[in-house]
Structure 1
Amino acid sequence: MSDEEEEYDKFGEALEKVQREMKKGFPVGQVSGWDDDAQGIEEERNPVESPAKEILWASENGKLSVVEGLILGDPTLIHAKDKDGYTPLHRACYNDHEHVVDFLLRHGANISAETEDGWQPLHSACKWNNARCVAKLLEHGADPNVTRQTPLHLAASNSYARDTMQLLLLHPDIQADVTNGTGERPVDLARRCGKYGYLFEIAETCINIL
């Protein structure tokens, strides 16, 4: 059995499991027209200048104890934003700090908060193939189809984002044929930018069978 055939079987089994559990919710287990996520992040020259700056810095750097202390002292800090609209949840997601993401979500972070460029936390996690954070966000109800340039577009544009692409394609509500501002579907980006375009074919085949 070839590697691709073996992956086909594993992917099909995973998708079948998702289909069986749809009623119980999602199980945990260059981008066209968009700037690089990291380029839009405001650097904190003095992260302790204010509580808002400190929680943004702590979330970005995975300092869970600092985040916990700040939120317990002032719960409104969970909605802090930098000048570009990035929240603590955005920052924790793009640096793959799952423990911080989990804490923020459990304490009321806005899972749909948008930056000035329209990025939600799921975009930040998908851009960098932070699959654990992607799974956590989807588990808490993040919309996998948000905006015309969807999280799946971002994952598909990166040659290393197989894990994230699989998670998104397994989601029961995914709309894999949405086109972005330049008329491209995620599968078009995957075929042009990486080597995982076949995942879309596997997903479509398995869905048709199931």
Structure 2
Amino acid sequence: MEEFPESFNQLELLKTHDHLIPRGACSLWPGDEEEEEEGERSEEWYQQKEENLKDRPEELMLWAAENNRLPTVKRLLTVDPLLAHCQDEDGYTPLHRAAYGGHAAMASTLLAAGTKVNSRTADGWTPLHSACRWGQVATASLLLRQGAELNAQTNGGLTALHLAASHPGPGSAHTLEFLLSQRHIKAELRSNSGEMASEIARRSGPHHFLFEMVEDCNSVLSPR
């Protein structure tokens, strides 16, 4: 596998290849057919999908977690509890998929089944990274309560705060506010490309002002 230099900027890759990163119900994972356009899908469609995957339990588990099929996940875990730890070829677990979809009840079920809250993908993403990248505040809060590492960094040095700052979409302001309110947040951490989350926010969207609360605290706490 080709290794990227330390200066490799994952955020630039996010900008140019954002459409290839899995999220929500519109799946672009290997093996997932694009049978229908985005939008509402019928219960019959989901049942047929489950039928198609019934002989591939790991794929079914990952798909069910992504698509918030909680009864299916519970049934699979009853048959084989180890499925809570399965991964796809990129290292994403069912918890990662539940996290970026904002499926808090699904995430809670997986955590209760013993899945690792700080499991990492091939690129070093934890479920908290996934939740914060897609603005899933409730799920991020759940993960932190269950022991997620607030300041964990990806292989490219990105924290959950970096990822939240890089995306000005729905939920990003609430995600940034939530992360910045955490007592042990390390907003000064830099990615491998040398950027702090506040610097990313300044050029990526309208929410840079949220970092002022951390800067004000730092100015009060810093020795004069």
The TM-score bracket by the shorter chain reads 0.7 to 0.9
Aligned residues: 181
CA drift of 1:42 comes to: 3.1
1:102-181 equivalence runs, <5 A? 102-147=108-153, 148-160=157-169, 161-181=172-192
1:10-89 equivalence runs, <5 A? 31-32=11-12, 34=14, 36=18, 37-38=21-22, 41-45=29-33, 46-89=52-95
TM-score, normalising length: structure 2: 0.75
Gaps of 5+ in 2: 1-9, 34-51
* Residue-by-residue CA offset, 1:131-163 (whole Å, 9 max, x unaligned): 111111111111111112111000001113011
Q: Which has the higher contact order (CA 8 A, sep 6+)?
A: 1
Identity of aligned residues (%): 39
Contact 2:58 2:86 in 1 (8 A): yes
CA drift of 1:99 comes to: 1.0
* Residue-by-residue CA offset, 1:49-94 (whole Å, 9 max, x unaligned): 3111111010000000000111111110000111111100011111
Change (3 A) 1:33 1:181: farther
Gaps of 5+ in 1: 1-29
> What amino acid maps onto 2:108 in structure 1?
D
TM-score, normalising length: structure 1: 0.79
Question: Pairwise CA RMSD of aligned residues?
Answer: 2.0
Change (3 A) 1:111 1:134: same
